[in-house]
Structure 1
Amino acid sequence: MKKLSNTEITNALKELPGWSHQEDHIEKSFKFMDFKEAFSIMTRIAFECEQQNHHPNWENVYNNLTIKLNTHDAGGVTEKDIRLAQTIESIVNK
């Protein structure tokens, strides 16, 4: 999969509020009511990640979840990361 240019990433992120481009990845932090809600969302995201065969770098502390996406094989952000970010948004915003 081809690594996206900075312009392509910037354009894609216009449709993904709150996501930012950092060096070689895109990322977003989410805040939930409590740990149970955060973990529940993480579980739903995990099933989708497995389906897409694409797995995030993430960190969960109590009700906070930070997700970082990149495609290691491409050395940066690809269309695969954008698709997963879109899926994550659909899960979180249900």
Structure 2
Amino acid sequence: MDLLDDSEVRRRLDEVPQWRREGDEIRRTVKAPDFPTAIRIVDEIAVEAEKLNHHPDIDIRWRTLHLALTTHDKGGLTGMDFTLAARIDEIAAANGA
């Protein structure tokens, strides 16, 4: 995967509007209905991350998840970050977050 230029990052962010760019990362906060649901969301994200061999940074604070994506080995954002971001959005929505 090649690094995305700024215009492509902006275009791809339009496809995942709950995500925001911070430097070489995209970030999103997910608020689950309760702690067990938050952990279930993390478990489902972990399964998808393994399938894609692309892993987010996740900070769990009770029922609030702070997620960050970047392609570390490329030093910035690639299409894989946006692929996983879209899948995370689907997982969050399916779990009421």
Aligned to 1:10: 10
Compute the TM-score of the two structures, normalised by the length of structure 2. 0.93
Secondary structure of the corresponding residue to residue 38 of structure 2: helix
* Structure 1: stretches of 5+ with no match in the other structure: none
1:54 aligns with 2:68: no
* Structure 2: stretches of 5+ with no match in the other structure: none
Shift of 1:77: 0.6
Write the distance in 1 (CA, Å) between the matches of 2:86 and 2:35: 23
Q: CA RMSD in A?
A: 0.7
Identity of aligned residues (%): 37
Write the distance in 2 (CA, Å) between the matches of 1:92 and 1:34: 13
Flag as ranges the 4+ runs of structure 1 deviating above 6 A. Answer: none
Write the distance in 2 (CA, Å) between the matches of 1:80 and 1:39: 23
Compute the TM-score of the two structures, normalised by the length of structure 1. 0.96
1:27 aligns with 2:27: yes
